[in-house]
């Protein structure tokens, strides 16, 4: 096992840490954003069962151990999780979101480099994850009140804007 194969999984821990940090600021929104990642993952699992694309490591050497034969390649679950996490984090905190986006791209690229996914697997995974997470964030924005939209806090927000 090389540092690269460990890194493909370790970057998912970076997203978990970011969600934890955002939990203290956003509570319910951070929890629901994380739930959106789970929804994106579930959708990717259904797509895998329909498409059933073999992994590149079945026909050529790879750095990482090739997953079981019934663990399909398209879309890349790591990339779905990375794309969904990056978008969810970006919707909660722009600075962390840009860091998460770089981590998501690195995670997706690493899956190709270690030989367990094709490029189209990771691109589709990133896009699927980001799209699902974005859609959930838009729905949450419409359904959950923000601090600025709560009537009891309106005078405070107006005063802060006037300063």
The confidence score (pLDDT) of residue 145 equals: 58
The confidence score (pLDDT) of residue 3 equals: 54
Q: Do residues 38 and 84 lie in contact, with contact meaning Cβ atoms separated by under 8 Å?
A: no
Per-residue pLDDT, averaged over 124-152, amounts to 76
| Contacts of residue 162, Cβ cutoff 8 Å, sequence gap at least 6 | none
The confidence score (pLDDT) of residue 26 equals: 67
In angstroms, rounded to a whole number, what is the distance separating the alpha carbons of residues 59 and 53?
A: 12
- Asked if pLDDT for residue 121 goes beyond 80, the answer is yes
The confidence score (pLDDT) of residue 132 equals: 94
Per-residue pLDDT, averaged over 124-153, amounts to 75
- Asked if pLDDT for residue 153 goes beyond 60, the answer is no
List, for residues 60-102, the tens digit of each pLDDT value: 888 888 888 888 999 999 999 999 989 988 888 888 889 889 9
The confidence score (pLDDT) of residue 140 equals: 72
pLDDT band at 2 (very low <50, low <70, confident <90, very high): low
Query: 61 φ, ψ to 5°?
Result: -65, 150
List, for residues 5-54, the tens digit of each pLDDT value: 566 667 777 767 776 777 777 666 666 777 788 899 999 999 999 999 99
| Domain spans, the chain | 3-162
In angstroms, rounded to a whole number, what is the distance separating the alpha carbons of residues 12 and 2?
A: 17
Neighbours of 86 (CB within 10 A): 28
């Amino acid at each position: 096992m090389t540092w690269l194969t460990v890194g493909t999984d370790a970057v998912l821990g970076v997203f978990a840490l970011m969600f934890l940090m955002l939990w203290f600021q956003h509570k319910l929104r951070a929890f629901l954003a994380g739930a959106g990642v789970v929804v994106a993952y579930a959708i990717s699992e259904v797509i895998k069962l329909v498409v059933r694309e073999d992994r590149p490591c079945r026909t050529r050497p790879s750095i990482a151990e090739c997953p079981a034969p019934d663990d399909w390649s398209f879309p890349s679950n790591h990339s779905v999780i990375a794309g969904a996490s990056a978008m969810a984090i970006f919707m909660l905190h722009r600075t962390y979101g840009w860091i998460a986006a770089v981590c998501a791209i690195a995670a997706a690229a690493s899956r190709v480099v270690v030989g367990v996914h094709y490029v189209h697997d990771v691109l589709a995974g990133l896009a699927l994850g980001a799209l699902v997470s974005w859609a959930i964030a838009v729905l949450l924005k419409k359904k959950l009140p923000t601090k600025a939209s709560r009537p009891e806090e309106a005078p405070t927000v107006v005063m802060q804007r006037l300063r």
